[in-house]
Amino acid sequence: MRILKAACVAFVVILGIAFAIRQPQLRANAAEGISIGVSVADRDGHLHVPDDYRTTYQLLGSWAIAAEDAHGSKEFHVVYASPGVIDAYRRDKRFPAGAVLIKEVFKASTSEMTTGTVSRADALKGWFVMVKDSGNSHPGSALWGDGWGWSWFDAGDRSKTTTTDYRAQCLACHVPARASDWVYVDGYPPLKH
């Protein structure tokens, strides 16, 4: 019984120390109104897609990816930011630590309507999740680097990434946006005044 009590006390002390260490960053982000990326990343850096992002995150914008035959679109990308990110970006012109971006990727369906040829989002293909990591939280992980955590999730499982190395699978698409912190900010009207 003494060993169990000692173990419980040790656990509470360790938990208290860990919380105290994290408090300054949590307070700073809370003061800025930033939702910390903790809800999408476990302590080992494994990401997942949060269940409530469509109702709790802010819409950044959407992209239509043109079809190869120049008839309509082949994909739609709809991008959300965790609460507080838009205001922080507009104020500081950078993404704050803990910012979460979630991109939904949909297959597009194109058809004729009275307004003309129209493409719309159809079947969900998956999600791309990025978490701003100013502190290099997971230096040994192949999913974290260049200031972000990066992961793709197929539509069938929002909790398990199929990404194994962000440098090989994610970074190449973001190279043109390197100067704007690897994010295509020009496509997001809410980030502009």
Q: Is the pLDDT of residue 1 over 90?
A: no
**71: closest CA among 115, 107, 110?**
110
Taking the C-alpha atoms of residue 25 and residue 35, their distance in angstroms, rounded to an integer, is 12
CB 137 within 8 Å of CB 45:
yes
Q: What percent of the chain has pLDDT over 90?
A: 72
CB 98 within 8 Å of CB 34:
yes
Q: Is the pLDDT of residue 85 over 70?
A: yes
Taking the C-alpha atoms of residue 80 and residue 97, their distance in angstroms, rounded to an integer, is 16
Q: Is the pLDDT of residue 100 over 70?
A: yes
Phi, then psi, of 7 in degrees rounded to 5: -65, -40
Taking the C-alpha atoms of residue 53 and residue 12, their distance in angstroms, rounded to an integer, is 32
Tokens of 102: 């979630």
CA-CA distances (angstroms) from residue 112 to 117, 123, 133? 4, 19, 44
Q: How confident is the model at residue 71 (pLDDT cuts 50, 70, 90)?
A: confident
**133: closest CA among 63, 56, 61, 45?**
45
DSSP H or E segment with residue 131: strand 116-132
Q: Is the pLDDT of residue 29 over 50?
A: no
Q: Once rounded to an integer, what is the mean pLDDT over residues 149-172?
A: 95
Angle at 138 between CA 35 and CA 160, to 5 degrees: 70
Task: Please report which residue ranges of 107-193 form alpha helices under DSSP H.
Answer: 166-169, 171-174
CATH code, residues 34-191:
3.50.70.20
